[in-house]
């Protein structure tokens, strides 16, 4: 494999961790075993990405649509999230800053408390930032942002004429960081599934047939190399 150019890394990578259920089914295991294995993969990939020099990683852990799954699976996912949030160094190693994006109002008090704890515990870490998208949906994020913006308009703090793309960007959950440069989706599905809608206007996409629990650091490196061979024009020529 040719070398990754450290001067041309995507600043922000998004991952749709798909294929956990199929991975488990192939092994005659419950779907929850697939999610457990997927969480382990997230840890491995986060460490690898951090060592490579990627600054921001956003992982889609639970979408606003995932509540439609059987209660048993939703509970297993929430238990898994709770376990990883509690065991603070387990998820991503000691260097990583962890932040959660999404609508936290529907998450249990217990999970909300652990989110506050892990964000506080990791906030001064020196490494990359891992954003966990939990009860996240791109449309829900836009609704949340527009509501905040409208509040400021109704207070007279902003005039509708002065609203720009940058001002809307300042209300989204990832306002402090660059838009997502590269979105990785394993497991053979070729869609965005309501992930980072606003931030992905000019993202590159990388798809593969591998189920997320089988996704290896070499696959991540492959995605980065392919990204480095893309010609990003942002609408120019
Ligand atoms: C999609 O695969 C995956 C999810 C809905 C959940 C992803 C969550 C994790 C990997 C666990 C994250 C845990 C932590 C601690 C951050 P699927 O279930 O839709 O797979 P399928 O399409 O093969 O059924």
Number of H helices, E strands in the chain: 7, 6
What is residue 91's predicted lDDT score, i.e. its pLDDT?
76
Answer whether 186 contacts ligand 1 (Cβ < 6 A): no
Q: 35 vs 174, 192, 195, 205, 207, CA distance in Å?
A: 25, 20, 19, 23, 20
**Residue of 7, 51, 66, 116 marked catalytic:** 66
Answer whether 181 contacts ligand 1 (Cβ < 6 A): no
Residue 42 CB-half CA count within 13 A: 29
Answer whether 35 contacts ligand 1 (Cβ < 6 A): yes
90 contact partners, CB below 8 Å, separation of at least 6: 43, 84
What is residue 1's predicted lDDT score, i.e. its pLDDT?
53
Cα 60 from Cα 145, distance rounded (Å): 19
Kindly give the confidence (pLDDT) of every residue in the chain, 237 residues in length, as a single tens digit, with 9 standing for 90 and above: 569 999 999 999 999 999 999 999 999 999 999 999 999 999 999 999 999 999 999 999 999 999 999 999 999 999 999 999 998 877 767 799 999 999 999 999 999 999 999 999 999 999 999 999 999 999 999 999 999 999 999 999 999 999 999 999 999 999 999 999 999 999 999 999 999 999 999 999 999 999 999 999 999 999 999 999 998 888 888
What is the Å distance from ligand 1's center to 80 Cα? 11
Nearest in space to 227 (alpha carbons), one of 197, 195, 202, 193: 202
- Spatial contact of 42 and 132, defined as CB atoms under 8 Å apart: no
Kindly report whether the global pTM for this prediction surpasses the value 0.75: yes
- Quick one: DSSP state of residue 97? E
- Spatial contact of 187 and 212, defined as CB atoms under 8 Å apart: yes
**Residue of 5, 7, 8, 18 marked catalytic:** 18
What is residue 2's predicted lDDT score, i.e. its pLDDT?
64
């Amino acid at each position: 494999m040719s070398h990754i150019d450290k001067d041309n890394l995507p600043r922000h990578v998004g991952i749709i961790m798909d294929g956990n259920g199929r991975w488990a089914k192939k092994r005659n295991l419950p779907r929850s075993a697939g999610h457990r294995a997927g969480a382990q993969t997230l840890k491995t990939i986060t460490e690898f990405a951090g060592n490579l020099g990627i600054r921001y990683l956003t992982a889609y852990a639970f979408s606003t649509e995932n509540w439609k799954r059987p209660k048993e699976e939703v509970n297993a996912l929430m238990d898994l999230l709770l376990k990883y949030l509690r065991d603070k160094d387990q998820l991503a190693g000691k260097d990583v800053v962890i932040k959660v994006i999404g609508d936290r109002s529907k998450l249990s008090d217990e999970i909300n408390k652990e989110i506050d704890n892990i964000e506080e515990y990791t906030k001064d870490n020196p490494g990359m930032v891992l954003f966990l998208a939990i009860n996240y949906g791109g449309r829900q994020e836009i609704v949340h942002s527009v509501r905040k913006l409208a509040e400021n308009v109704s207070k007279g703090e902003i005039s509708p004429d002065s609203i720009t793309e940058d001002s809307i960007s300042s209300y989204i959950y990832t306002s402090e960081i660059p838009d997502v440069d590269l979105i990785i989706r394993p497991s053979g599905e070729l869609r965005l599934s309501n992930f980072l809608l606003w931030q992905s206007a000019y993202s590159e996409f990388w798809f593969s047939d591998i189920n997320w629990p089988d996704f290896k650091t070499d696959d991540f490196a492959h995605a980065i190399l392919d990204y480095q061979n893309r010609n990003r024009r942002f609408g120019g020529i």
